[in-house]
Amino acid sequence: MTHYLEFEKPLAEIEGKAEELRALARANEEMDVEQEAAALDQKAADMLKDLYKTLSPWRKCQVARHPERPHCIDYIEALFTEYTPLAGDRNFADDHAVVGGLARLNDRAAMVIGHEKGNDTKTRIERNFGMARPEGYRKAIRLMDIADRFNIPVITLVDTPGAYPGKGAEERGQSEAIARSTEKCLSIGVPLISVIIGEGGSGGAVALATANRVAMLEHSIYSVISPEGCASILWKDAEKMREAAEALRLTAQDLSRLGVVDRIIPEPMGGAQRGRSETIANVGKTIAALLDDLSAKDRGTLIKDRRKKFLAMGSKGLAA
């Protein structure tokens, strides 16, 4: 059962009709609907292509948040072998919104860390919808430290609406944890590669995405604030999220023009949710290529290049 986004409603109708026809034919052997159904399929395919050819920034937000989009654990399971999750911040708790551990990518050891949103009610609650608490960032810091000490590259998969705005999270130092995680990203002498696979929500994303190379899936987003939040502050009307999404330049394409993102990873027609394994494979290829790119650099160069990259960021605006 496909989950259709709001702007996909006309598509849902056509695909639904085709499905109905075929169901009828299955129930009634005399009926021959294939020609009619195939025509509907073609119409749906054309419409899908049309819809996804030029997705507005707000539609991209919806695609980026699509519940059937592959999530962090899907990538880890498909792309890595010998995944050995490592838990806890050694201080307070294990935050299930941030997962991570040792794993092999094409036989090579890596430390993989990411936000996990969950994929049904139960796991979404368990994962707190991918909104990390300080413990999550402190776990990430710990894992980056291990990677740094044993000379293992770090790969982060970013997918969060933002860090969790909760009472305990604040009391335990959400700001400090995010700041330290960003600081750790900037300090490690091993390759650090980040892929924004869905939502790159503000400080909660940056804490894991201050990387040597940042790649983004074609329909993912990365922003200082959600379009809804921005709309309610600047337009005083949360319903102006379309305008806000436009103004914020949060798409992979705009971020690449701004020099914030190094690589855009293509998604199959109709978004990652319509071709999960193809998407995952594309991400895998990109990570491997970026790792190859960085593997010859020594520790000092990796740190220096990373800092230089962020210091220079934004100096040219959209002309970058």
Partner 1 sequence: MNWISNYVRPKINSLFSRRETPENLWSKCPECGTMLFHRELSENLNVCTNCDHHMALTPRERFNALFDGGVYARIEVPEPVADPLQFRDQKKYPDRMRAAQKATGEPEAMLVAQGEIGRTPVVAAAQDFSFMGGSMGMFVGNAIIAAAERAVEQNLPLILFSAAGGARMQEGILSLMQMPRTTVAVQMLKEAGLPYIVVLTHPTTGGVTASYAMLGDIQIAEPNALICFAGPRVIEQTIREKLPEGFQRAEYLLDHGMLDRVTHRKDLRDELITIVRMLTGQSPAVRGDLPPPEPGEDPPADPAPALEPVADSPVEAAKA
Q: Which residues would be at the binding site for partner 1 (CB under 8 A)?
A: 163-167, 169-176, 178-180, 182-183, 185-187, 202-203, 206-207, 210, 222-225, 230, 233-235, 243-244, 247-250, 255, 258, 260, 307, 310-311, 313-319
Q: Burial of 225 by CB count in 10 Å (0-12 exposed, 13-18 middle, 19+ buried)?
A: middle
In the complex with partner 1, the residue whose CB is nearer, 46 or 237, is 237
Nearest approach, Cβ of residue 207 and partner 1 (Å): 8
In the complex with partner 1, the residue whose CB is nearer, 68 or 228, is 228
Nearest approach, Cβ of residue 29 and partner 1 (Å): 55
Nearest approach, Cβ of residue 128 and partner 1 (Å): 11
Classify 124 as helix, strand or coil: helix
Instruction: For residue 197, give the H/E element and its range.
Output: strand 192-201
In the complex with partner 1, the residue whose CB is nearer, 37 or 207, is 207
Nearest approach, Cβ of residue 134 and partner 1 (Å): 9
Nearest approach, Cβ of residue 191 and partner 1 (Å): 17
Phi–psi pair at 154, nearest 5 degrees? -110, 135
Q: What is the DSSP string of 128-162?
A: GGG---HHHHHHHHHHHHHHHHTT--EEEEEEES-
Cα separation, 168 vs 176, whole angstroms: 13
Classify 261 as helix, strand or coil: coil
Q: 106: closest CA among 275, 289, 270, 265? A: 289
β-strand partners of 158: 196
In the complex with partner 1, the residue whose CB is nearer, 74 or 148, is 148
Cα separation, 317 vs 218, whole angstroms: 21
Nearest approach, Cβ of residue 263 and partner 1 (Å): 16
Pairing of strands 98-105, 80-85: antiparallel
Nearest approach, Cβ of residue 174 and partner 1 (Å): 4
In angstroms, the first-to-last Cα distance of the chain is 42
β-strand partners of 222: 200
DSSP classification of residue 276:
H
Interhelix angle 299-312/174-187, nearest 10 degrees: 120
